[in-house]
Amino acid sequence: MHRKGGLIVGEVNGKMSSKKFIIKESTRKRCRVFPIDSFDRRQFTPISMELFHFLYEAPAIDFSIFIRVDEEMVEYIKATELSKELLKHIWLASIKDDAEVEICVQSADHAKFTRVIDSVRDLKIKRLIEREPALDTKTLISFVNLSGASQMILRGGINEDATRKVAAAASFMVSNLMDNNFAIATLSRMIQIDPSLYDHSAAVAMFSGIMGKQAYQGKLSQKNAETLAQCGLYHDAGKACIPHAVLNKPGAFTPEEFEIMKSHAILGYKVISKSINEGASIEKIVAEVALQHHERFSGKGYPYGKKGRLEENTENGIHPFARIVAIADSYSALLMERVYKPALPAEEALRLLEINSLEHFDPVFYNPFVAALKKSLNLYEEKKQSLVGNIYVVEKGDNVAQKIIAKKQSKSHKEDESLSKLSLDVHIHDEDCDHQPHGEKKLGA
């Protein structure tokens, strides 16, 4: 597939191929291209597509951006060459079907890359609050901390620095947000305003921690709450082992690709367990949750088809933390923008989630989460209205004070009716929306 001004072309030995890509001659003339082996790769750090997109808003960089194509490394953008056009070339190359490509920076420059990303993120957060002042600032600060930790995990770097940052971010969240009624709504609304800021694992950690606090009615210890939040941060660690072309494929998976994607649960368990065995300060349950977060309450999940509660079935039940993370993972996946779907409003995400809820999720955790979500959204809208003020329509001769009191009483009555509906049965759908074979969608990869 030829693209004018692009990085790679799907032509091998004069024949078009969708399975193999070579570097264009024009790219070889413009860029430094050199062979790279497994040892050389250690000198480079892969960067996630979530963070790569932040570079579009960076005014300048002081490092080079590389892209690995099979066994060759291309220095595609030097520090003086940053442009949206060249960034687009890299993006187009990275999403080609079956392309063995990886976006990197030199490991020695990763601190510089992080500073640029942090600067862009801070600016975006500032703009976000200016545009929507009803968003909770404390939630956004915690979210940024969690996001920084999750990106370290997705790079495959479960090392001492990563585990320390994860622990600190989880501790900060638990200490500051467990009783924050605006947190769920802030996360649910911010993605509609700026999808690029959203970090799935950070959101899963936050939703999980809050859900645990609600379900255990304040009886969850600080340590266990932090461990639950860490389960959310590490739950997709195995995706660092999934080929980039599969992970970011814009279309439906083939059956073979879907099996590859599903393997991230077992791979995550192995990666985290290996780190624990090597001395990483991570609780063993974190690895178990990575393994079980796609199991479903009805037994129709993967990888092992576990069913029900571990407390009631010690051989084949699902751990309570995994049942919590499964709900948070599914809701967050529906909210977020992906290469094959737009970001969804919270109300639509909840509607889809409820379709098969009784089959997929434990109602002990799910029902309180739905109630808290609706309450948080209502409080958020109240705060939003209070910031813009209220408009009262009055006619000549009306008593203005009585008009205001009557409207407030009417509003309060409607809220009471809304809250009473929260006790009704709710239904669920497993919409983790990782695209399935033949275009089917399921909450499950």
**Segment 333-374, tens digit of pLDDT:** 999 887 667 889 999 999 999 998 999 999 999 999 999 999
Decide if 349 contacts 329 (C-beta within 8 A): no
Residue 410's pLDDT is: 61
Residue 8's pLDDT is: 61
Low-confidence ranges of the chain (pLDDT < 70): 1-21, 96-99, 155-157, 339-340, 389-445
CA distances from 400 to 404, 406, 413 (A): 6, 10, 20
Decide if 95 contacts 44 (C-beta within 8 A): no
Structure-derived torsion over alpha carbons of residues 181, 184, 188, 194, reported in degrees to the nearest 10: 80
Residue 418's pLDDT is: 39
- Mapping DSSP to helix (H, G, I), strand (E, B) and coil, where does residue 35 land? strand
Distance CA 144, CA 414 (A): 35
Q: Return the DSSP state at 95.
A: T
Comma-separated ranges of CATH 1.10.3210.10 domains in the chain = 132-364+428-442
In angstroms, how far is the first alpha carbon of the chain from the final one? 29
Burial class (CB in 10 A: 0-12, 13-18, 19+), 7: buried
Residue 377's pLDDT is: 94
CB neighbours of residue 221 within 10 Å: 10
Sign of the C-alpha dihedral computed for residues 194, 195, 199 and 202 taken in this order: positive
Decide if 266 contacts 275 (C-beta within 8 A): no
Residue 97's pLDDT is: 59
- What is the pTM assigned to this prediction? 0.78
- Mapping DSSP to helix (H, G, I), strand (E, B) and coil, where does residue 108 land? helix
315, 276, 273, 313: which is closest to 290 by C-alpha? 273
Segment (H or E) for 204 = helix 200-215
CATH architecture observed for domain 132-364+428-442: Orthogonal Bundle (1.10)
Residue 251 — left, alpha, or beta (φ > 0 → left; ψ -120 to 50 → alpha)? beta
Decide if 361 contacts 324 (C-beta within 8 A): no
247, 299, 256, 303: which is closest to 438 by C-alpha? 256
Residue 256's pLDDT is: 93
Decide if 247 contacts 239 (C-beta within 8 A): yes
Distance CA 445, CA 434 (A): 5
